[in-house]
Amino acid sequence: MTIFLTDADVRAAFGWPEAVAALRAAYSTPPDEARFPPRTMARGEGLWLRTLSGVPGDGAPMGAKLIAASPRARRASYLIPLFDQDTVELLALLDGNAITGFRTAATSALAADALAPAGPLKVGVIGSGFEAQHHVRALAAIRALSSVTVFSPDPASRARCTDRLADLGVPLHTADSAEAAVEGASLVLCAARSRDERPTLRQVPAGATVVSIGSTLPEQRELGAEAIERADLIVADQVHEVAYETGDLIAAKKAGVDFAGKLVPLADVMSGRIQGRSDPDATVVYKSVGSAVQDLAVAAMCVRRAAELSLGTELPVTIAPVAK
């Protein structure tokens, strides 16, 4: 029968180390665009429906994430169906709201672990919302952090952020500017929408690893052209979308920055086909727009953990496969 996981079930079943391990396995298989096609967007009168679908190459459940949104009403719903690859039976339906935030941060932690220098990380964070907090928690679950410094324009927001992260037992600080937050950092997390779509980060510390998740559309900006030009390597979860559909790289290209030769897929780094960091002094950027690889890996992990913890509701009816 089909299992339904509510948002509360997903949160109870989720674990950062388990999510990173699931993503490591997912990104270690050879990339195949046929298995994970570009996401699609249907638009209506002030509405949109986005679909991210995939068939994992390791036999894990296939499925999709559907996002129905009404920007004018400031509301969205997330649904993830998972199907068995052998029987095409509907295994699970999940509320995908929490998974979206979890999978982004867990994938960033996976990338940061592969790209950042060895040893404890000094982290500078631009942003103070749930994405920024998720990213710090994901990192702390798999790497030692020597300190975390947070900047956001609102002093109350950055203080609230560090208060909520106090249970990690990591030295936490706040800064009055983005530049002060990232000074001397070995890892920079950019997880905030910029005001008026101006870049939130222009200068990058030498030798730092930068994680950028806040610019996923052409009209959004996060990294300035200077930061893109300075990067020795840019690792992307979705190379084509990062290159052509994010405001950061669109603006960098217009400014004359040639990044084509240094933009590589995360899957190639995780599988060892491409070396992630060749020099301790190199500046490396990981840029994410999100993908079905991430949603499906984390969703399947939550379903497995939910079964172990006796979470979820077995639906009284399901969708039966039919002969074709």
Residues above pLDDT 70, as percent of the chain? 98
Domain membership flag for residue 262:
yes
Residue 266 and residue 159 in one domain = yes
Residue 94 and residue 114 in one domain = no
Mean pLDDT of the chain: 93
Residue 34 and residue 110 in one domain = no
Residue 86 and residue 122 in one domain = no
Domain membership flag for residue 321:
no
Look at residue 200 in the predicted model and tell me its pLDDT: 81
Residue 47 and residue 185 in one domain = no
Residue 232: strand, helix, or coil: coil
Residue 110 and residue 232 in one domain = yes
Residue 274 and residue 232 in one domain = yes
Query: What's the pLDDT tens digit per position in 119-154?
Result: 999 999 999 999 999 999 999 999 999 999 999 999
Look at residue 124 in the predicted model and tell me its pLDDT: 97
Q: Whole domain around residue 304: which residue ranges?
A: 3-100+292-314
> The CATH number of the domain where 8 resides is what?
3.30.1780.10
Residue 251 and residue 308 in one domain = no
Residue 252 and residue 187 in one domain = yes
Residue 131 and residue 269 in one domain = yes
Domain membership flag for residue 320:
no
The total of structural domains in the chain comes to: 2
Residue 128 and residue 89 in one domain = no
> What is the residue type of 203?
Q
Residue 142 and residue 50 in one domain = no
Which of 226, 244, 234, 296 shows the shortest CA–CA distance to 266? 234
Domain membership flag for residue 283:
yes
Residues above pLDDT 90, as percent of the chain? 78
Kindly provide the b/e burial profile for residues 226-257, where b requires at least 16 CB atoms within 10 angstroms of the residue's own CB. Answer: bbbebbebbbbbbbebbbebbbbbbbbbeeeb
Domain membership flag for residue 247:
yes
Look at residue 192 in the predicted model and tell me its pLDDT: 83
Measured at the alpha carbon of residue 46, what is the angle toward residues 40 and 47, in degrees to the nearest 5?
Answer: 40
Which of 180, 163, 187, 173 shows the shortest CA–CA distance to 114? 187
Query: What's the pLDDT tens digit per position in 59-97?
Result: 999 999 999 999 889 999 999 999 999 999 999 999 999
What's the pLDDT band for 24 if we cut at 50, 70, 90? very high
> The CATH number of the domain where 203 resides is what?
3.40.50.720
Please tell me the distance from the alpha carbon of residue 241 to that of residue 32, in angstroms, as a whole number.
15
Look at residue 319 in the predicted model and tell me its pLDDT: 93
